[in-house]
Structure 1
Amino acid sequence: MARRPNLLFVFADQMRGMDMGCAGNPQVRTPHLDSLAEEGTLFAHAYANAPVCTPSRAMLLTGKYPLTVKVVANDLPLPATERTLGEILQEAGYRTGYIGKWHLDGVPRNRFTPPGPRRHGFEFWAVWNCAHDYFNGRIYRDTPKPIPLPGYEPEAQTDLALGFLQRRDGRPFALFLSWGPPHDPYWQVPERYQRLYDPDRLEPRPNVQEPKGPRVPLGPKDRELGLRRTLANYYAHISALDEQLGRLLEALKALRMDEDTLIVFTSDHGDMLWSQGMLKKQQPWEESISIPLLVRWPGRMPKGRISEQLVGIVDLAPTLLGLMGLPVPEDMEGADLSPHFLGEAAAEEGSVFLMDLVTVDEAQAQGLREWRGVRTQRYTYARFVDGEEWLLYDNLHDPYQQRNLIHEPQAALLKASLEEELRRWMRRVGDEGWCWEETIRRLGLVELWNARERELHPAQPRLLE
């Protein structure tokens, strides 16, 4: 039997799929990501099914939808009983490791996750549950004493990853490296990367507008710097991550492991950055749901390919297992797309199921509420859970989603067809379209929800009885 490949899974936080040179944005400098695309496959239609950190990360590791694993909002814990990629790969003989942001262990965000089932099969552990303070990074290892990370957090985390790669014991490895940027605070990026971008020479996306929600969910420093400087800082973070990726690729080559390593680069969700007058995530517009997805496996996957295959983040776990020659658990809800990844099957027509099950934090501050939707290769459709119509875009002819067709008579048949597609998805995953309170109650999450609210919003918690 051929030796199974190593896995290096690298992901950013809140990075849009369109913001790489290889994805068509000439303003952002990403030479190593561009090289990865040339040597592997760029998936042009990769989406975060539930575009917010914790539910997305739970889907990534379990291959299941948020309702199934009861991770329906940020800062709700992934149950220790859920079986993840970490456990599956460890049981298959892999040396497993996780470095960086976790965001799957509830509150408080600085809590220590002890060795055991809440680490979900990851042996090497250099993790902080959730923090975005890029010059004062910390991690936990195997004791509850925080370890400071010197300098810019992604550089220190990459140093840890390089150390992991160098420590070989004969087993294949599976390393997950989770960087915090380009998630805000955007301004916390080293000056050498800021110097790469002149804010006055950057062109915002054509759909950028002044924020229109009741509150602007930005920290005071980012708010003071404004749109163009913030966009420059966001790009600067991406260039910084690109440089760290280059260090990893160089190390794999020096260690003669590059030919035997399956490399994945992605993100948990995107970032609106003033498009549609909105910020952050948890929204069905392209800037929020589109994620980068670059995959390289020398000798096994096609080089220089741009794939039109629809990929949801829920599909990554079963697809990776398929690529690595491991059985896909029957209870995984994502699709095993490994035949297409290997170039053995054409891209399939279909749709990605999109959702916001419990609107919290930044999205709530901007006046949003729970919604469901679908993204096909061409169209985006979304409605609120109370049935109110919301969005319908033809992304082929309207790539910046500036013409909402939802109330146009000529789109009535299309709207009905997409609504039926949405209902098929909801039936398939057991989604009854509950409001947020009903979701929390039906899933037995009231105690965990109230703990979350008291921790994150002590002045105005939304408590349930």
Structure 2
Amino acid sequence: MKIVLPIVLSVLILIPVYFFGFRSDTPNEPISNVQTPPNIVFVLADQWRAQEVGYAGNDQIITPNLNKLATESLIFENAVTTMAVCAPWRASFLTGQYPLTHGVFYNDKPLPNEAYTFAEIYKEAGYQTGYIGKWHLNGHARGADPFSARDQPVPKDRRQGFDYWKVREVTHNYNNSFYFDEEDKKHVWEGYDVFPQTDSAISYISKNKEKPFVLMLSYGPPHDPYFSAPKEYQDLYDAGTLKLRPNVPEEYQDSARRVLAGYYAHATAIDKAIGDLLEGIEKAGVADNTIFVFTSEHGDMLMSRGVVKKQRPWDEAIKVPMLIRYPGKLESRRVLDPIGTPDILPTLLGLSDIPIPKSIEGKDFSKNLLSGKDLENDATLIMLPVPFHEWQFKNGGREYRGIRTRRYTYVKDLLGPWLLYDNENDPFQLNNLVNQSEYNSLQKKLEKSLSKKLKEINDKFWPADEYMNQWNYLYDRTDSLRAENYLEINR
């Protein structure tokens, strides 16, 4: 008993050190100097494209809080959504995997319960976990109406490790929208939901600041509908004076300006909420030990090439804003090398000094970020295994795989090379260089890089039906309909 008791006491003393990941460089270091694990506040907007922020040089959108945040953050110039659509981005972020690994390559398909996710990893490291806002990973039963689960509560075993829970599976009605709490009780966000969601986030941080936490705050806007932001924010923009990207066709320009004004109103409202959230983090006294991330799932074409929304391989859809602030650890600078969706989770784990699970396919760039280097990443994948909904086959949708480098975009479809852009000399992607003889050497180099990346994740680039059958999925409504020559549409 005299031998056992000291051992037991030693183990009890060491448990919190191991469980919470606290480290001490010297055995007798005072407790006040022990490194506390960083909190994570992850803010996700929906359909906010990279070009539409003041700090990126846009002089007509009002984003003062994001502009200030950028002066304190890493600014990712080429944050690329691996698959430019809602649910696949979320599944790839939460798992650190590519869509054909986790299986969510189509909206409203379920992320498997056994997926090892962001919240579960941090929870096992001693963190509290919270989620507020849009979820979009519960999916629906096979054969059910494709949108049947969007207004239903998410079962506890489908929350992927998040405990604090104020969530709606999906809604695009941002005024007086409802949500479900941990016990599946229904509540209403009064007014424009971005603001009460932010208030809940501030409250969560204040109440849980004594222990490390991760909090994900997922806003619905600026995803369409474009004209539902509060009037005071809509009044900030005069559609008639807005400048458009040169790749908006003339016949769509009046519509594009109206859409852009509504989109900007949503964005400015979110910017105001982010300012409130950052102030709440300061007041809680945890700003210096909080990794703050702002990004988006994907962009929006916003009438570039005459279309809206996402899925397409052009920069308006695949490039998103991303800022990471970590005071005392990361100095503000611009990161030029591309980073893909599956890379975000392992990079956050690296910054948090948490081991990277073997299930993760993305790259951990934390050492580069902490050392002041760029990512040393030549390219990141973009893909669309199955086109659906607004870009289904009959609307010109097609399967594709591609890469986005710091300078170039290269994409192939099932017929072969499809797009090649020099984004440095052609930032609006107006001149497709694919299969032009003077760019043969470049195209071969990019093709080799793409083939290597597909091989690394065992992506065979099969037709859409192969993946739908493999995962036992059904197409939604008319998504499977296609003309025999659909690949050649708009080629």
After TM superposition, the score normalised by the length of structure 2 is 0.87
2:257 matched to which residue of 1?
228
- Please, which moves more after superposition, 320-329 or 160-169? 160-169
Report the AA paired with residue 429 of structure 1. Answer: I
Report the AA paired with residue 160 of structure 1. Answer: S
2:30 matched to which residue of 1?
none
TM-superposition CA deviations, 1:343-384 (whole Å, max 9, x none): 343331410011001100011163111111001111001111
* 1:414 has 2:442 as partner: yes
The SS at the match of 2:68 is: helix
Task: Calculate percent identity across the aligned residue pairs.
Answer: 43
Matched residues in 2 for 1:343 and 1:270: separation? 30
TM-superposition CA deviations, 1:12-40 (whole Å, max 9, x none): 00000111110111111111111111011
The SS at the match of 1:234 is: helix
2:108 matched to which residue of 1?
75
- Counterparts of 1:274-313 in structure 2 under 5 Å? 274-303=303-332, 305-313=333-341
C-alpha displacement at 1:145, in angstroms?
Answer: 3.6
- Counterparts of 1:55-454 in structure 2 under 5 Å? 55-107=88-140, 108-116=149-157, 118-168=158-208, 170-209=210-249, 226-303=255-332, 305-364=333-392, 366-384=395-413, 386-442=414-470, 444-446=471-473, 449=474, 453=476
2:5 matched to which residue of 1?
none
2:67 matched to which residue of 1?
34
Matched residues in 2 for 1:68 and 1:234: separation? 33
Report the AA paired with residue 50 of structure 2. Answer: G
Report the AA paired with residue 133 of structure 2. Answer: G
Matched residues in 2 for 1:346 and 1:282: separation? 28
* 1:50 has 2:83 as partner: yes
C-alpha displacement at 1:211, in angstroms?
Answer: 8.2
Matched residues in 1 for 2:250 and 2:380: separation? 29
TM-superposition CA deviations, 1:293-315 (whole Å, max 9, x none): 10101111012x11112111110
Any unmatched runs of 5+ in structure 1? Answer: 213-222
Check whether the contact 1:278–1:366 (CA below 8 A) recurs between aligned residues. Answer: no
The SS at the match of 1:309 is: coil
Matched residues in 1 for 2:209 and 2:449: separation? 48
Report the AA paired with residue 77 of structure 2. Answer: A
Matched residues in 2 for 1:129 and 1:22: separation? 32
Matched residues in 2 for 1:176 and 1:75: separation? 20
Matched residues in 1 for 2:208 and 2:361: separation? 34
Report the AA paired with residue 120 of structure 1. Answer: Q
Report the AA paired with residue 444 of structure 2. Answer: A
Check whether the contact 1:302–1:343 (CA below 8 A) recurs between aligned residues. Answer: no
Check whether the contact 2:48–2:299 (CA below 8 A) recurs between aligned residues. Answer: yes
C-alpha displacement at 1:170, in angstroms?
Answer: 2.7
Report the AA paired with residue 462 of structure 2. Answer: W
C-alpha displacement at 1:146, in angstroms?
Answer: 2.3
How many residue pairs get matched? 439
C-alpha displacement at 1:229, in angstroms?
Answer: 1.4
TM-superposition CA deviations, 1:322-344 (whole Å, max 9, x none): 00010011221100000122234
2:6 matched to which residue of 1?
none
C-alpha displacement at 1:100, in angstroms?
Answer: 0.5
1:220 matched to which residue of 2?
none
Check whether the contact 1:11–1:268 (CA below 8 A) recurs between aligned residues. Answer: yes
Taking a change above 3 Å as real, the CA distance of residues 289 and 310 of structure 1, as seen in their structure-2 partners, is same
Check whether the contact 2:50–2:321 (CA below 8 A) recurs between aligned residues. Answer: yes
Check whether the contact 1:134–1:152 (CA below 8 A) recurs between aligned residues. Answer: yes
TM-superposition CA deviations, 1:181-225 (whole Å, max 9, x none): 00000111111001111111100111112689xxxxxxxxxx9x8
Report the AA paired with residue 254 of structure 1. Answer: K
The SS at the match of 2:293 is: strand
Check whether the contact 1:109–1:129 (CA below 8 A) recurs between aligned residues. Answer: yes
Matched residues in 2 for 1:111 and 1:407: separation? 49
Report the AA paired with residue 259 of structure 1. Answer: D
Check whether the contact 1:211–1:279 (CA below 8 A) recurs between aligned residues. Answer: no
Matched residues in 1 for 2:184 and 2:215: separation? 22
1:217 matched to which residue of 2?
none
Check whether the contact 1:210–1:274 (CA below 8 A) recurs between aligned residues. Answer: no
Check whether the contact 2:134–2:218 (CA below 8 A) recurs between aligned residues. Answer: yes
Specify the structure having the higher radius of gyration (Cα): 2
Any unmatched runs of 5+ in structure 2? Answer: 1-22, 24-34, 141-148, 482-491
Report the AA paired with residue 61 of structure 1. Answer: L
After TM superposition, the score normalised by the length of structure 1 is 0.91
Matched residues in 2 for 1:380 and 1:169: separation? 43
Taking a change above 3 Å as real, the CA distance of residues 45 and 438 of structure 1, as seen in their structure-2 partners, is same
Taking a change above 3 Å as real, the CA distance of residues 192 and 19 of structure 1, as seen in their structure-2 partners, is same
